[in-house]
Amino acid sequence: MGSLIALYGTSMLRDSDRHKLFSRRATMLAGGKMLLLSALVGRMYYLQVIDSKRYATLAEENRISLRLLPPPRGSIIDRFGKPMAVNRQNYRVVMNAESVQDAERMLDVLGDIIKIGGGERRRILREFQHKRSFVPVTLRENLNWDEVARVEVNAPDLPGVTIDVGQSRYYPNAYETAHILGYVAAVSGKERRGDPLLELPGFRVGKTGIEKTHDLALRGAGGRSQVEVNALGRVIRELERLEGLPGAEVGLTIDLGLQTMVSRRLKGKSAAVVVLDTHNGDVLAMVSTPSFDPNAFNKGFSAEEWKNLISDSRAPLTNKTISGLYSPGSTFKMVVALAALEKKAITPMSEFFCKGYLKLGEDKFYCWKEGGHGVVALEKGIRESCDVFFYETALRTGIDRIALMARRLGFGRVLGIDLPGEQPGLMPSRGWKMSTLGSQWMQAETMLAGIGQGYMLATPLQMAVMTAQLVNGGLRIKPRLTRDIKSPFPTMEEPPFEQTKLDIDPLHLTLIRNAMHAVVNHPTGTAYKARIDKPGYEMGGKTGTVQVRRISEEEREKGVIKNKELPWKERDHALFVGYAPIKNPRYAVSVVVEHGGGGAYVAAPIARDILLEAQRRKSARRGMKRPTKRPAKRPTKRLWGEG
């Protein structure tokens, strides 16, 4: 028993040693754990108290996503309120860059569902890298219903990808109005500056035409929506919404009915027509053919379509009425006559003899009429378009006086119409030749200028403006396309039309008008066949046939080749400027048919039809009030306060 106790004793002793050691070590362990625990507490304090603000901001950034709300683009209407450019619904697939991590993979998945081309794919990946994260990237536009449904069904496999209903521009009278309205297209890298709206997917800006001129007003102001999103980019709820301002409605001076009629009349021709209101310069119709489909710029062209469009020698993309440059030809004779009358180089009674040509030194200058017109005074000179008469008149007047008168009437300078791309044309003078070509002005050149050829270049718009000013009593007009802009922007209103006189002797103007009346209504007038018989609707005007090739002496002897036998490119341009009605002319028109042939046979009948239609439609009337409905509901929060 004793030994047992002893054994127990030693055992107890041993155990108490172990216990002591254990206790010591346990204390150290506890100390270590306390140290580690305080490290946790310190770190938590740092994160949640000292750095809390930063993380709170990060959490908000995580949670809150700012979305831009594109405003609806303003519509464009004609002078009677008919829509010319509107918005249509457009379904598109967009991707939220911030919630898509692997765009390549996502595109692979999406590519199995809807078609995405290789070029598109590259564009998407490029945009994915360059856009700010909160700006979604458009994957494809103009989805049909079937595609919309397929994407929606596969939504769970496509985090961050959503269907978006946007609006796309639509031009109901696409071909007829393309050159006036221009078109909208995706923002180019250069334009992407300033307005964050420009970074929105599929946002369109005006590239030419009225769409470009009034792009800011049409665009409106973008709204903002603050939304709460989860980690997958799904919108949980909207926190705040700041409505934008819809684009302004732009009213044009165009009469859409007349515009489409003119377009149809010019079908198949390479031509340009401008119809003006002689009183105030309102452009009632402005047609350039061939045309193009501006809607296609929204959908996108195939490479081939685009190539065809640019390589077409008839330049469908160019607005020939303001960018096409032509010799005005005989339509310029009124200007020469006015300059001569003003200089008193001729009187209305001055007579010249036309024997079919005029010799200047060794050179012969031919009249268009073989055999000549005989004795010609001013009225006959214009009526029968005698070239010799105007050679003589021009020589007596001198180029500088002609140029001065031409400038007064709008040639050789930009008229300031509210469209981009207007050309100034060219009105030559001594000084001009010296400074640009470095040589002396030749008398022969004055003679050519006398019949509107040579260096001279003018746009159909300039010809129409000239005509309008000749017949409206000598009032200066500035052509314009914009009637009004229903816009919240204060500076967009055009200054009211001011009537100023051109300071041309009214007597001279009357002479010219009578002669232009005779051109169409006198049996010997060059455009007699194209006259308007309907009483009260008669027109006056002036034909022009512009040579685009040189006719050699040799050819003259053999007989000038008929236009129809020439290749299209070498045929004459057919021109006509006209007005109607005879009493108090309200409509002025200029017609240029490229390589059309004779002005009297090709251009004059077109002008007749147009002027007749304009009068019948009363295109220039103002009585019709345009509808005044606001394009969209007023915003709840205004970006521009109302005081």
Partner 1 sequence: MKEQGLHKTELTLKQKLWQIQWFLVLLLFTAASVGFAMLYSAGGETAGTGSLNPWASRQMIRFGLGVVMMLTVAVLDIRLWLRHAYALYLATFVMLVVIELGGFVGTGAHRWINFGVVNIQPSELMKFTMVLALARYFHGGSIDDISRPLFLLPPLLLVAAPSALVLRQPDLGTTVMLIIAGGVIFFLAGVKLWKFGALALAALVSAPIAWHFLRDYQKNRVLTFLDPERDPLGAGYHIIQSKIALGSGGLFGKGFMLGSQSHLKFLPEKQTDFIFTMLSEEFGLMGGLGLLGLYSLILVYGFAISLRCRNQFGRLVGLGVTTTFFLYMFINIAMVIGLIPVVGAPLPLVSYGGTAMVSMLFGFGLLLGVYIHRDTQIGRRGSGEEL
User: Which residue ranges make up the site for partner 1 (CB under 8 A)?
Assistant: 7-8, 11, 14-15, 17-19, 21-23, 25-26, 28-30, 33, 36-37, 39-41, 43-45, 47-49, 51-52, 54-56, 58-60, 62-63, 101, 228-232, 236
Residues 236-259 as b/e (b if ≥16 CB within 10 A, e otherwise) read eeeeebbbbbbbbbbbbbbbbbbb
Pick between residue 7 and residue 437 the one whose CB is nearest to partner 1. Answer: 7
Min separation Cβ 62 and partner 1, Å = 5
Q: Report the distance separating Cα 116 and Cα 93, nearest Å.
A: 11
Q: Report the distance separating Cα 530 and Cα 516, nearest Å.
A: 13
The one-letter amino acid code at 322 reads I
The rounded radius of gyration (Å) of the Cα atoms in the chain is: 38
Give phi and psi for 89, each to the nearest 5.
Answer: -70, 145
Compute how many other C-beta atoms are within 10 angstroms of the C-beta atom of residue 579. Answer: 28
Distances, alpha carbon 26 to alpha carbons 20, 40, 454, 612, in Å: 10, 21, 112, 113
Min separation Cβ 225 and partner 1, Å = 17
Q: Hey, what are 274's tokens?
A: 């401008």
Min separation Cβ 23 and partner 1, Å = 6
Do 245 and 489 contact (CB within 8 A), yes or no?
no
Min separation Cβ 235 and partner 1, Å = 11
Q: Is the dihedral of CA 546, 548, 554, 559 positive or negative?
A: negative
Min separation Cβ 199 and partner 1, Å = 22
Strand partners, 156: none
Q: Hey, what are 24's tokens?
A: 């010591």
Q: E strands, 74-188, where?
A: 76-77, 83-95, 137-140, 161-170, 184-186
Pick between residue 15 and residue 363 the one whose CB is nearest to partner 1. Answer: 15
Min separation Cβ 129 and partner 1, Å = 14
Pick between residue 23 and residue 308 the one whose CB is nearest to partner 1. Answer: 23
- State the angle between helix axes of 460-471 and 333-343 in degrees (0 to 180), rounded to the nearest 10: 50
Q: Hey, what are 575's tokens?
A: 């021109």
Quote the DSSP letter at residue 603: I
Strand partners, 591: 273, 576
Place of tokens 């042939």: 597
- Catalytic positions, written as ranges: 330
Pairing, β 223-229 against β 64-69: antiparallel
Pick between residue 16 and residue 510 the one whose CB is nearest to partner 1. Answer: 16
Pick between residue 25 and residue 105 the one whose CB is nearest to partner 1. Answer: 25
Pick between residue 66 and residue 548 the one whose CB is nearest to partner 1. Answer: 66
Min separation Cβ 45 and partner 1, Å = 7
Pick between residue 39 and residue 155 the one whose CB is nearest to partner 1. Answer: 39
